[in-house]
Chains A and B, each alone.
Chain A
Amino acid sequence: MTSSNNNYTPPSEEILIHRVIEGDSSREDWLALEQLADGDRCVWERLARTLQVEAELRRDGKHAVSLADHIELTSEISAPRNFLPRWAGWAAAVVLAAAWVVGSFSSDSGDPRNEGSLPASETQTADSAYMQYIQKGISEGRILEELPRVVMETRPAAKGDGVEVLYVRRLLERTVVDQFFQAGSDDQGKLTPKPVPMTRFVDYGSF
């Protein structure tokens, strides 16, 4: 925005003040401002006042827009879109479905790698262990349901064959507690759990 040539035409006072605030003034701009101030000493006062009101606006404005930090998109809806092509969601769903079917049946369906002397817990796949966890959790009333998986990213597989899918598995679980704690510190500054009154959570339907 600055200029340093012989054809310099002094801009208006508001532009000069603006450039000073932006830290964008050329030597010519400063000279022009000084010349203006020679005829009207209030120029410096107006510059100072502009800086002051802007600082006030910045302080309040930053607080105000910080409200936006509390508005989140739910990952369930936002993540699968991810600016991927429209078909990518379907492709990811197919990949996940395939992985699910393969994962569910492969570990216990005659895979010779599962036969041997090691206990089942050491030979089962992550998928079958996960399924067992869900089944056990449901039977105990701890797991309410498995929520739809969230695709975080799809990208070409490193070996150049297929698509690598990064996704999150989510379980809705329930537990009953008789006390909440938060991290606190004692007189010596040592980290200690501090009980939180249960009444504080009564009003929350969900977090």
Chain B
Amino acid sequence: MEREPLDIIWRKERRWVASVLLAHMPPGADLEDLLQEVALALVRHTDEVRSRDNFRPWLRTVTLNIARGAHRQEQSSLRRKERSLDPEAREVADQRPLREQEAKKARQATANTLKKIEELPPKHREILLLRCVNGLSQKRIAKILGLPETTVESRLARARRKLRATLSTVQAVPVHDEGQPHDQ
């Protein structure tokens, strides 16, 4: 593996990790808490990564598991306020103090983003956020998701159409479900 300090790697990857969380986390979950859990998992389990090439898919799997865990917690009717983050996570993942104004803005933006994509299936949300918000190339997305580039293209095209259809109040464009020849 490349000898790059883990915190440097985290800084490079954390924004798309946030996008994956946004795409898969339950509506009531706290993005910051989940990011801290991913950071903790990264520190604890990095040794499991065998090569640099596998790192991003591995980090995505870890992120997905944490988002799914949040779903499970919600399903087991644990109230979010009662859910306390693993104390060790507090030690590992420092949260730089956010200025109140800044935090409010970011949380509002999170709510707006979730509102915009809530009607989309998670796989479409994820691909759309990775491309549009994080600016990752289709090639890089294909590597992270472990999909052929053609599938990434068709899924992204479909996600765009669904987003437009969902947010459009004037336009009435029929939204077909899965099964188009491009999606694999």
By a beta-carbon cutoff of 8 Å, the part of chain A in contact with chain B is: 1, 11-12, 14-15, 17-18, 21-22, 42, 45-46, 49-50, 53-54, 56-58, 60-75, 77-79, 81-84, 86, 152-155, 204, 207
Contact = CB atoms under 8 A, between A and B. Distances in A.
A26 B116 CA distance: 31
B129 A71 contact: no
Contacts of B138: 1, 22
Contacts of A57: 113, 116-117, 128-129, 132-133, 163
A73 B7 contact: yes
A64 B17 CA distance: 12
A58 B32 contact: no
Given A17-B160, A79-B6, A81-B46, A74 B92 contact: yes
Interface in B1-31: 1-7, 9-11, 14-19, 22, 31
A70 B95 contact: yes
B167 A56 contact: yes
Size band of the B side of the interface?
Answer: 35 or more
B97 interface: yes
A185 B139 CA distance: 48
Given A14-B158, A57-B133, A70-B98, 12 more contacts: A15-B153, A21-B160, A49-B168, A54-B163, A64-B22, A66-B109, A67-B31, A67-B32, A78-B5, A81-B46, A83-B1, A83-B4
Interface of B is mostly: helix
Interface string B92-109: 111111100000011111
Contacts of B150: 1
Contacts of B78: none
B14 A82 contact: no
A65 B3 contact: no
Contact of A73 (B92, B112, B149, B153): B92
B77 interface: no
A15 B10 CA distance: 34
B164 A49 contact: yes
15 contacts: A1-B153, A45-B171, A46-B171, A50-B161, A64-B31, A64-B109, A67-B31, A72-B11, A74-B93, A77-B92, A78-B5, A78-B42, A79-B6, A82-B6, A84-B1
A87 to B, nearest CB: 12
Contact of B161 (A11, A14, A63, A81): A14
B43 A77 contact: yes
A73 B31 contact: no
Contacts of A155: 3
A59 to B, nearest CB: 8
B28 to A, nearest CB: 15
Contacts of B5: 75, 78-79, 82, 152-153
B133 A61 contact: yes
B32 A14 contact: no
